Amino acid sequence: MTVRVRLSGAKPIKIGTRASPLARAQASEVAARLAACHGLPPEAFIIVSLTTKGDQLREQPLPDIGVKGLFTQELEERLLSGEIDLAVHSCKDVATVLPRGLHISACLPREDVRDAFISRTGCRLWELPPGAVVGTSSIRRQALLALHRPDLVVVPFRGLVGTRLQKLESGVVDATLLAQAGLNRLGLGQLATEILNLSDFPPAPAQGAICIESSVANSLVTELVSVLDHEATADAVRCERSFLRSLDGSCRTPIAAHATCHGSELVLCGMTIEPDGSHQRTVVFRGRRSAAEAVGGSAARLLISNEAVSLRSRTGVVGLSRS
């Protein structure tokens, strides 16, 4: 049943977002969904675009910056000041510990979680010749490329999706990797030369998910966006973010995690790996959806502990492997 929120007065809801085309597309999707669910006109929402620190430092590799919340801090400051009512994020950009007074109040249905490989010549990843240059801004993708194709040259490659595609077309690199979810949301999904297998290229925690962040004190906004919350996505994201938080993950640390819901349970597949592709460790952990954060934390602690394969705990370990 759809619960409609009555907005008092004519004051529009201000939706904060990064200024990139992808971020604005995500914010527009949220506005359209809210308008449809609550029977509101489009003018009931205003999209406020902000340039974040991560956007300002586009040419600097993310690990060199080393700051969590690079793409969210400015939005969170305006949430706390009341300048905007809610913020729309790519959930993988959101720090695992939020500023006091803010919370993730909804997650939209998740898009494709996989990585897309795009090459200039149409070669698939495994067909690229030795010495080919692949650009990526992700230390996780860099590490996985080093694991599977150590004969390739991997270089830092930042910028908006369109900028990176233009650099690829002009021959700056031979290939690049992007999130398939972002390509799909921009209507560019067909550009993927190959969508990479999850077993070889597990995704970043919360990849493919859009989340809404808002003030805990703003009960009207919490109620307003609650109709958009997709429970399976929210549970999976909570689990993956807990796994990342327990490992103290940052843009300097290659970590992957993917949780899937199965009835009242969820299964988390997690991985850590060194930037040079060495010391890959994986864990598969099953637990209750109602304890999604505990499942993520337990999986991380098991991975850290280096315990033997197929140990059991109350929440139920499926397996742990190391290479």
Q: What is the three-state SS of 102-119?
A: EEEEEECCCCCCCEEEEE
Q: How far apart are CA 99 and CA 226, in angstroms?
A: 20
Going by C-alpha positions, the residue among 213, 235, 216 that lies closest to residue 288 is 235
What whole-number distance in Å separates Cα of residue 131 and Cα of residue 174? Answer: 10
Instruction: Report whether 12 contacts 85 (CB < 8 A).
Output: no
**Helices 219-226 and 21-38, packing angle to 10 deg:** 90
Please tell me whether residues 56 and 96 are part of one structural domain: yes
- Please state, in angstroms and as integers, the Cα–Cα distance from residue 151 to each residue in 116, 136, 240, following that order: 20, 16, 31
Q: What is the span of the domain harbouring residue 145?
A: 115-195
Position 107 scores a pLDDT of: 98
| pLDDT at residue 55, rounded to an integer | 52
19 plus 99 within the same structural domain = yes
93 assigned to active site: yes
* Number of domains within the chain: 3
pTM of the shown model: 0.88
Least confident of 55-59, 112-116, 184-188: 55-59
Task: Spot the catalytic one: 85, 93, 112, 235.
Answer: 93
Examine residue 2 and state whether it is found in any structural domain, yes or no.
no
CA distance 1 to 288: 26
Q: What angle do CA 61, 203, 115 make, to 5 degrees?
A: 80
Mean pLDDT, residues 126-139: 95
Does 234 reside within a domain?
no
What are the pLDDT digits (tens) for 226-269?
A: 999 999 999 999 999 999 999 976 557 799 999 999 999 999 99
- Mean pLDDT on 36-63: 75
Question: Do 163 and 224 belong to one domain?
Answer: no
Percent of the chain residues topping a pLDDT of 90: 78
Q: Are residue 170 and residue 254 in the same domain, yes or no?
A: no
Looking at residue 311, its pLDDT comes to: 34
Where are any strands of DSSP class E within the chain?
13-18, 45-50, 86-90, 102-107, 115-119, 133-136, 153-156, 175-179, 194-195, 210-215, 255-262, 265-272, 281-288, 317-322
